[in-house]
Chains A and B, each alone.
Chain A
């Protein structure tokens, strides 16, 4: 199985400041058919279900604010929240869908400093 490693485990950022979450895969997750990376980022708020914010490593889901961006390729990926808002408090997970079984990172808890 592909192992997904996220860092840090938790992150406290001041309102309006940048938050950066890293995700590393144990294998290359580039999809040869479209030359895109098979990585999704989810936002999981307390009491709600996880929601996709980024797929194909950098494609923002419809309706997701543009302060969220995804980058990276191969085995190293980053989710950036450019200006943290109060409603962004959540746990964020990366997930690879290059190989079965699909696997998730351990999550990064984002809080307000």
Chain B
């Protein structure tokens, strides 16, 4: 089924850009879609976007174009960039394999998650 591991900074300042990377092992990133999901403290889970190995991507409109997801098939990795950070972006961020039968999908498996705190 594969394993996913997020990496990146755990503390970042407001207005900066968050960059996270997800490394996929025991699976090929050339299959399926790959997503980022987050959960701010006390709030519900939120899908940020997904990418295919070809570079085709789709994002949650709620992020107002602040999010970009890229993929590097040669490294079996995909990455998240989130710009113009505020305290509201403090959350646990997960990467996840995404199965899409139609226009949206479900997430299985997930990485272990990384808590990112936005604070000066």
Contacts and interface: CB of A to CB of B under 8 A. Distances in A.
Interface residues of B, number: 23
Given A49-B109, A49-B113, A51-B109, A102 B44 contact: no
Interface string A49-65: 11110010000010000
Interface stretch (A10-18, A20-28, A77-85, A92-100): A92-100
B46 interface: yes
Nearest to B1: A62
Contacts, number: 70
Interface residues of A, number: 28
Contacts of A51: 108-110
Given A49-B94, A95-B106, A101-B47, A31 B58 contact: no
A90 to B, nearest CB: 14
Nearest to B111: A49
A38 B102 contact: yes
B44 A107 contact: yes
Interface string B30-46: 00000000000000111
A100 B57 CA distance: 13
Contacts of B110: 49-51
Contacts of A106: 44
Interface of A: 1, 31, 33-34, 38, 40, 42, 48-52, 55, 61, 93, 95-107
Interface of B: 44-47, 58, 60-62, 94, 100-113
